[in-house]
Structure 1
Amino acid sequence: MDNGMMQYLRIYDHLKDGRSGGEEEASVTVAQLAELLYCTPRNVKFVLRKLEESGWIHWIPGRGRGNGSKLRFLRSAEEVLELRVRSLLEQGRASDALDLVAQSGVDEVLKARLWSQFSLYLGLHSEPADSSDCDVLRMIRYRKMEKLDTSAVYTAFEVYILGQIHDTLIKYDASADKFQPRLAHRWESNERGDRWTFYLRKGVRFHNGRLMTSADVRETLLRLRRKDSPALSLLRDIEEAETPGEYTVTFRLSRPNAFFLHLAGSLYMAVVPAESDDGELPVGSGPFRISELSEHRLSLSAFDGYYGYRPLLDRVDVWFMPSGDVSGHTYHLSEDDEVEGSRQVDSPAQGCRYLIFNFRRPGPHHHDDFRKAMRILYDRELLVRELGGDRLAPASGFLPRFSSSADIAPGTLDEARDLLLSSGYAGETVRLVFTDKKEEWIEANWLRRRAEDIGLRLEPCPQKPALGYPQAEEGDLAIASEVLEDDWELDLLNFFLNGINYLGRMLLDEQRGELLALFEGFMTENEAGRAEIFARAQRLLAANNWLLYGAHTSHRAYFNRSLYGLRMGSLGFPNLSRLWVRGEDCGCDAPGKH
């Protein structure tokens, strides 16, 4: 913590109330300052001398009885704070600068301006190491980090980070549409499909240096049970994980399961050390290990003992900077694509943004005609045409493949007005909750204006996320997004079953029971049978207007132009293991062999 800066701010804030207009001088005694700064009069004089040397104040001690001392401020608190932040950043002390801003207590406008200074110092750079340069990527996130725990992770960024720290037995390869070896080099099942055996690689080390064995795989499953993980709804067929050998694990199931490889490759089943302590930093066997984790910063360091290819980057620093009205991910200088040295990368997302009703709250949305009116207001074609942004195409399901052949019939505002009247709506305010993000703000205000045209009072209520969602209990309906990973079958199944998302928290028990009944026997079906179940579940939501599909969206990120090896994942983040930095002075116009 920058004590001198905080002492100055405390003095400035305390004495400014005694000044009027633009007056920059205040009367104060050493004894008063000692009480304010919680120190001795002798230390006060030391503090004042340091502040004078910094050029921030001029101290005029009183001479004689009755002549009080004067403290003249040579710079405003805002100026001093900006200068100090800039100085710390130039010294490479970004962590100290971040702490200073976070604890300064300044208003949000100034705080936002101070955050913007970080964009000039965050990005790609090299740091001297013992024998060679250390390539570091700095990323900015404009929200806090949620807990990193594979047993309960749900939000996209935490899924992404945990995927760098942990590894799974196998991994789904979307490009080849098959599973690839990871911690297990081979697997097989019996003829019935109720016994699945995995043969582990030898020599795989966790970040703590210990070798992985089959006992760790078994303990991973037991840990999920101890923590009552949401994943248990997916893993309920597993009766036991047996370890016939140090590098062999067999999952014994209660019934045949043709879907089991998807489960074995899920992040929930990422192998953790048997002695894992939930109070410590997450320990995995992935390409990066956590070297630092605080409220404002996460540092990932390349794991030299990784069994696969070592990452080309040496470290990734993620800075968490609270700020509103920010969209996209930033990996370099700022969110502005016109900043020198940046390039914009867009990639389509698997999933869509949607509107869902909260049936656990009383209100007009329980009437089918009200929901039909909202279906007309939330016009998917107009969403894409009028709002643009990250909206790519109207959605009639969670994946574009479910929407491409769908006939999306629009309605008129007159029809919506008639439906609203027949629903018995009496002019009450309907609360619309959504995550406090730019694109959702745009959508909420667009919907509010359309609602006004038919006499519906819709109140947008932005909220900070909890488990990736605003508090469902506080809204009558909500805007949300579902983004699916490469193994979209697993993610979509998890969406319907896990119970912690909007679908689980907003539908009534009988509604959810009707939906869950469709998935009984899902894991015994082949791919075509599973696709039909997904289609029926999405049609059920749409036919009853429990959930209104909006638009399929895209990911947008900005990257430093010196960053290569970009392979955007399904969640909109790059594969950190493949990224590398081309030196500014190599004299090449494009990456290649040197």
Structure 2
Amino acid sequence: MKMANHYIRLREHLSLPEGVQEAIVTLDELAAILDCTHRNVVLILKRLADKQWLIWSPKRGRGNKSTLTFLVKSEELVLQIARNFVEKKDLRSAMDYINRPSLPQLSREHFNEWLFSYFGYRAELKDHKKIDLLRFPLSQAFYTLDPAFINYSSESHLVNQIFDSLVRYNPQNQMIEAHIAHAWEIDTSRTVWTFFLRKGVLFHNGKELHAEDVRFTLNRLRHVNPRSLYRWAHLYIRQINVLDANTLQIVLNEPNELFAHFLSTNRAAIIPIDYGGETKERFAKAPIGTGPFKLVKNDGSICVLEAFQPYFQGRAHLDQLEIWNIPDLYEHKQSKSFEGFQILHNFRLPDHAEETSWNQVHRGEICKFITLNLLKEGPLKEVETRRIVTEMIRQHLHLDTAKEGISPTDGFLDKELSELNTEELFANESASLTDTLVLCTIPQYEADAIMLQKVCQLAGIKLQIKLLPLAQFQGEQRLEADFILFAVMLDNDKELRLIDLYKSMQQHVGQAVKLQMEFYLETIIHEIDPLIRTKQFIALERMLKDIHAIHFLYRKQLKTVYHPSVKGISMDSLGWMEFKNIWFRSSETPTAYFPQS
């Protein structure tokens, strides 16, 4: 590889025109390019000639020029080096090579095609033993693997492989079921919860899980960032008592009928007391859980997980998982045929493929919406202005419903659009705004923000876009905007997510509206009947729509498409496949596997 680097460096510095393979150069110039002595230049050139990569025709004398004839295209060596890095699981170095400015775009595309062929299910031999390996890319980065601080679906998916929660939600029967806790009891006041833990549940470091680990986990959640997900649920915990090594009592301030559901989320995944002896920072990169897979490598670009042999729910069928963070490859590959893949997340089959043997699983929806800042001084403080603005947006918003499973919507839970003919009602109305309004969102939703900006322009409204990184967006800066654009995943945890959203909305509504919202939220949290909770959610949503504090844009249906060779299909709370259960019939297996958030 060292010689290849020297060769590439020579070709790039000499900048030969297209089709020209010869360069006339002095020994001094070569020494400067290679940053070495004359003696070492001679040794390097001889070795490159021995590899038949170039012909060196030297001329004696220090100032005389020699002829270098290059026999190999530098991009061929760049691709080979990049492939070598990939095979050594050094993705960063591989991408550094591929992103060299001198490399033609066509060569990058060839590398991408090769890289895709590298992904998928593989049966490999290791120490004379067959290893079932699944290697796949994710476009989303993973910044932390600490369950308390995850923000992205890629992180959530990895956490689900590494950790377990006290209980689990079963989407088939919509019930909370035993997991680390094999049973639990609730007293008549519905504020004292007693959990009985399984014996013999092991962390990946070999230590047995006890009630102290659960207490440490939940107490830690009570002191995390106040803007963290489901923070409101943590605050219901008054105290946690360890009754013995396998029995835990949680006392709540007041009844919370969604508490068990909260405990089933990966936010409440159990970690070892004192981070298993690691620092918090180290734990976030190399966590220790009890899950079906244990982490053996995480360099920020590649995560390698191995099946945890003594897993209390039974060993995974796969031996190893490799998750590669490749930001731009999904967009590159999406235009290609889907036939080469085994599993595709967030994918819509082409029309001609609907009747094929491929299977589809509906895995939830994303709902995009804007909230209006009722506290900011300006035109949107008046309800009539908000009414006109939101209806003008509705009138001018034309969605490509044939694309990516998108459909119009008028609510999170109440899917039916109003039969009111808004076009007739508002055809002669105008927003009459001279102010420039500000819309705040995160970079991931920039395309939706630009779409809204164009819609507002058609409606005669000036709209400025402000993009904030997620950490800043969760803070106070978003409250300076007139509109806030965001999305909610309507998955198994939608009740928790909606409460989280409405708690956040309370920061930019007036006191009277805030009190109304709090009444609905408290009613929902105290209600044991899920059907009544749904009715309360719909009532809260309609109240906010009546005062035009929220406006819905569209829903995007998410599906998982999988090949018949994939067996043992089951879904986690975000609709990702649970890797513990899947296995492959090798005689039917296509060449690659490609999940995507």
TM over 0.5: yes
Distance 1:83 1:530 in 2: 59
What residue number does 1:481 align with?
A: 487
What residue number does 2:255 align with?
A: 256
Structure 2 counterpart of 1:489, which letter? E
Q: Tell me whether 1:403 sits opposite 2:415 in the alignment.
A: yes
What residue number does 1:299 align with?
A: 304
How many pairs are equivalent?
A: 560
What residue number does 1:314 align with?
A: 319
Q: Tell me whether 1:149 sits opposite 2:146 in the alignment.
A: yes
Distance 1:158 1:291 in 2: 16
Give the 3 Å change call, closer, same or farther, for CA 335–314 of structure 1 in structure 2: farther
Cα displacement string for residues 412-433 of structure 1 (whole angstroms, at most 9, x for unaligned residues): 3993783322xx235x586675
Cα displacement string for residues 543-562 of structure 1 (whole angstroms, at most 9, x for unaligned residues): 33333212222224555553
Asked if the contact 1:141/1:320 (under 8 Å) is kept, the reply is yes
SS of 1:120's partner is helix
In structure 2, runs of 5+ residues without a counterpart are: 344-348, 350-359, 590-597
Structure 2 counterpart of 1:495, which letter? L
Give the 3 Å change call, closer, same or farther, for CA 26–456 of structure 1 in structure 2: farther
Asked if the contact 1:119/1:334 (under 8 Å) is kept, the reply is no
Structure 1 stretch 97-106 or stretch 300-309: which is displaced more?
97-106
The Cα of 1:274 is off from its aligned counterpart by 0.5
What residue number does 1:415 align with?
A: 426
In structure 1, runs of 5+ residues without a counterpart are: 328-332, 587-594
The Cα of 1:56 is off from its aligned counterpart by 4.8
Q: Compute the RMSD of aligned alpha carbons.
A: 3.8
Cα displacement string for residues 514-559 of structure 1 (whole angstroms, at most 9, x for unaligned residues): 6445424543222355334422332243233333212222224555
Give the 3 Å change call, closer, same or farther, for CA 258–459 of structure 1 in structure 2: closer
Q: Tell me whether 1:139 sits opposite 2:136 in the alignment.
A: yes
Distance 2:160 2:288 in 1: 12
Structure 2 counterpart of 1:565, which letter? G
1:60-71 map, 5 Å: 60-71=57-68
Structure 1 stretch 362-371 or stretch 42-51: which is displaced more?
362-371
Asked if the contact 2:568/2:582 (under 8 Å) is kept, the reply is yes
What residue number does 1:523 align with?
A: 525
Identity level (%): 25
The Cα of 1:237 is off from its aligned counterpart by 2.0
Distance 1:363 1:11 in 2: 62
What residue number does 1:223 align with?
A: 220
Q: Tell me whether 1:198 sits opposite 2:185 in the alignment.
A: no
Distance 1:60 1:360 in 2: 78
Distance 1:317 1:242 in 2: 39
The alignment's TM-score, normalised by the length of structure 1, stands at 0.81
Asked if the contact 1:170/1:265 (under 8 Å) is kept, the reply is yes
What residue number does 2:173 align with?
A: 176
Give the 3 Å change call, closer, same or farther, for CA 138–334 of structure 1 in structure 2: farther
Give the 3 Å change call, closer, same or farther, for CA 209–487 of structure 1 in structure 2: same
Distance 2:44 2:11 in 1: 13
What residue number does 2:336 align with?
A: 336
The Cα of 1:397 is off from its aligned counterpart by 2.0
Give the 3 Å change call, closer, same or farther, for CA 559–337 of structure 1 in structure 2: farther
Give the 3 Å change call, closer, same or farther, for CA 412–51 of structure 1 in structure 2: farther
Distance 2:180 2:114 in 1: 43
Q: Tell me whether 1:494 sits opposite 2:509 in the alignment.
A: no
Distance 1:38 1:363 in 2: 63
Asked if the contact 2:367/2:555 (under 8 Å) is kept, the reply is yes
Give the 3 Å change call, closer, same or farther, for CA 183–535 of structure 1 in structure 2: same
Distance 1:392 1:453 in 2: 22
Distance 1:297 1:14 in 2: 32
Distance 1:340 1:296 in 2: 24
Give the 3 Å change call, closer, same or farther, for CA 308–74 of structure 1 in structure 2: same
1:334-483 map, 5 Å: 336-340=336-340, 342=342, 345=360, 347-357=362-372, 368=383, 371-376=386-391, 378-379=393-394, 383=398, 386-399=400-413, 402-404=414-416, 406-407=417-418, 409=420, 411-412=422-423, 415=426, 418-421=429-432, 424-425=433-434, 428=436, 433=441, 435-436=443-444, 441=447, 443=448, 446-457=451-462, 472=478, 477=483, 479-483=485-489
Q: Tell me whether 1:578 sits opposite 2:581 in the alignment.
A: yes
SS of 1:311's partner is coil
SS of 1:425's partner is coil
The Cα of 1:305 is off from its aligned counterpart by 1.1
Asked if the contact 1:234/1:494 (under 8 Å) is kept, the reply is no
Distance 2:28 2:479 in 1: 52
The Cα of 1:576 is off from its aligned counterpart by 1.0
1:101 to 95, 98, 113: 95
Asked if the contact 1:391/1:551 (under 8 Å) is kept, the reply is no
Structure 1 counterpart of 2:415, which letter? S
Distance 1:40 1:197 in 2: 75
Asked if the contact 2:375/2:510 (under 8 Å) is kept, the reply is no
SS of 1:148's partner is coil
Distance 2:395 2:363 in 1: 17
SS of 1:326's partner is helix
Asked if the contact 1:125/1:136 (under 8 Å) is kept, the reply is yes
Structure 2 counterpart of 1:524, which letter? H
Structure 1 counterpart of 2:301, which letter? H
SS of 1:95's partner is coil
Structure 1 stretch 119-128 or stretch 4-13: which is displaced more?
4-13
What residue number does 1:238 align with?
A: 237
SS of 1:575's partner is coil
What residue number does 1:323 align with?
A: 328
Structure 2 counterpart of 1:123, which letter? G
Q: Tell me whether 1:120 sits opposite 2:117 in the alignment.
A: yes
Cα displacement string for residues 478-503 of structure 1 (whole angstroms, at most 9, x for unaligned residues): 54321133233223223333x4xxx5
Distance 1:237 1:529 in 2: 21
Structure 1 counterpart of 2:117, which letter? L
Give the 3 Å change call, closer, same or farther, for CA 39–65 of structure 1 in structure 2: closer
SS of 1:577's partner is coil
SS of 1:145's partner is coil
SS of 1:480's partner is strand
Distance 1:430 1:320 in 2: 33
Give the 3 Å change call, closer, same or farther, for CA 72–272 of structure 1 in structure 2: same
Distance 1:180 1:71 in 2: 72
Give the 3 Å change call, closer, same or farther, for CA 571–451 of structure 1 in structure 2: same
What residue number does 1:589 align with?
A: none
Distance 1:36 1:139 in 2: 39
Distance 1:367 1:397 in 2: 22
Structure 1 stretch 113-122 or stretch 75-84: which is displaced more?
75-84
Distance 1:475 1:519 in 2: 25
